[in-house]
Amino acid sequence: MVSLAGYREHQNRITYLIVDDPYGDYQTDYRSHRGNNIPIPIDRALKILKPTDQPLLKWAHLIKSNVPQ
């Protein structure tokens, strides 16, 4: 399980999701234990999100934080 920390966009399209992963950086096969603010290209994120029984839907829980920044 990872936490969605943010996203990057280009020309009003989301290009990356930014996640916090308690195990570390998946891009290093978890050799790096620094898991904060890991960018995942949106096309890769959509492939690895758990699929549902409907092919066009993916499973995720998004919780909006009301913490002032």
Query: Model confidence over 4-61: pLDDT tens digits?
Result: 889 999 998 999 999 999 999 988 999 999 999 999 998 888 777 766 677 666 666 6
Phi-psi region of 16 (alpha: psi -120 to 50; beta: other; left: phi over 0): beta
Helices (H), 1-69: 42-48
pLDDT of the residue at 53: 72
Q: How far apart are CA 22 and CA 35, in angstroms?
A: 6
pLDDT of the residue at 41: 94
Say what the pTM is: 0.69
So where are the chain's domains? 3-59
